[in-house]
Amino acid sequence: MANFVFSSVSKIFGQNTSEYVALDKVNFEAKSGQLIVVVGPSGSGKTTFLTIAGGLQTPTSGRVMISGQSITELTKKAQAQLRLEKIGFILQSYNLVPFLSVKEQFTLIHKIKKDNMSTHELNQLLDDLGILALKEKYPSQLSGGQKQRVAIARALYTNPEYILADEPTAALDTERSLEVMMLLKKLAHQHNKLIIVVTHDLRLKEMADKVYQIIDGKMSTLS
Ligand SMILES: Nc1ncnc2c1ncn2[C@@H]1O[C@H](COP(=O)(O)OP(=O)(O)OP(=O)(O)O)[C@@H](O)[C@H]1O
């Protein structure tokens, strides 16, 4: 059974003459154990797709099912609970809390949700991402690539079933990008996660189990 199902999902911004169709009757299905890459040029609708998939935005029409639940029919509170329990987001803005050290970014999550990685597992992950030595640093002391890797670690820390990543390698060099994609692929295959990466970087296609393309809000299968 598919874990993520989009049925004819559209998102229209604006009204009347200034209407903009950011997603146009998108149909999409994905199940756990896969690394999905969605490619498309700037402005094609990738972030809109990802944020609707995670219930951060509501579609104008159509239905989004996650784990058999129609998220559009859930209350805001139930949506937030579903996100907290099941979804890890890696967003372009990183969303790190500026006045907390790297270590404290994780402590904060632990206050909200238990059942996360152990300290040993977290240290291993930070080491794999090459940021273990940065645990006491604050976001303003980190480079873009380091912040991006902290954001990746934070998304994985809660052991979510689903990981939704918006340009997760944008601030990384080629070698690091490859390492991050390998890590995501390993998580999908060995830990049965569903990972959806949206990107304009066509090189990431090679790492995917399945590739989709979005152009002008229309989604199609590439491979
Ligand atoms: N809140 C909004 N109000 C109006 N238009 C929006 C809004 N959000 C997105 N759009 C428009 O919808 C289209 C798709 O945007 P989206 O951010 O999904 O594209 P994208 O493929 O992620 O682009 P990028 O790669 O540059 O991040 C764009 O033309 C954008 O201007």
Quote the CA–CA distance of 17 and 19 in Å, as a whole number.
Answer: 6
Ligand 1 is surrounded, with C-beta below 6 A, by 13, 20, 22, 40, 42-48, 200
Report yes or no on whether pTM surpasses 0.90. Answer: yes
Quote the CA–CA distance of 167 and 200 in Å, as a whole number.
Answer: 7
Amino acid at 217: G
Q: Kindly report, residue by residue over 5-14, the tens digit of the pLDDT.
A: 999 999 999 9
The confidence band for 60, taking pLDDT boundaries of 50, 70 and 90, is very high
**Residues 119-143, mean pLDDT to the nearest whole number:** 94
Indicate the average pLDDT of the chain: 92
Quickly tell me which residue has 């990107």 as its tokens: 199
**Cα(8) to centroid of ligand 1, in Å?**
19
127-158 b/e (C-beta count within 10 Å ≥ 16 → b) = ebbebeebbeebbeebeebbbbbbbbbbbbbb
**Cα(201) to centroid of ligand 1, in Å?**
17
Domain of residue 73, residue span: 4-221
Q: Do 8 and 26 form a contact (C-beta atoms < 8 A)?
A: yes
**Cα(63) to centroid of ligand 1, in Å?**
20
**Cα(128) to centroid of ligand 1, in Å?**
33
Helix (H, G, I), strand (E, B) or coil at 67: coil
State the total domains in the chain.
1
Does residue 218 come out as left (phi exceeding 0), alpha (psi in the -120 to 50 range) or beta? beta
The partner residues of 23 in beta bridges, in order of sequence, read 11
CA angle 104, 100, 186 (to 5 degrees): 50
The confidence band for 46, taking pLDDT boundaries of 50, 70 and 90, is very high
Q: What is the best residue among 9, 21, 44, 219 to mutate for testing ligand 1's pocket, by most ligand atoms within 8 Å of CB?
A: 44
- Look up the ipTM and state it: 0.95
**Cα(13) to centroid of ligand 1, in Å?**
9
Quote the CA–CA distance of 60 and 74 in Å, as a whole number.
Answer: 15
Q: Do 29 and 15 form a contact (C-beta atoms < 8 A)?
A: no
Q: Do 28 and 44 form a contact (C-beta atoms < 8 A)?
A: no
Query: Given strand 20-30, what is the order of strands in its sheet?
Result: 20-30, 4-13, 61-66, 69-70
Q: Which ligand 1 atom lies nearest to the CA of residue 92?
A: 27
**CATH classification of the domain holding 110:** 3.40.50.300
pLDDT of 220 > 90? The answer is yes
Q: Kindly report, residue by residue over 65-110, the tens digit of the pLDDT.
A: 999 999 888 998 999 999 988 999 998 888 899 999 999 999 999 9
pLDDT of 30 > 70? The answer is yes
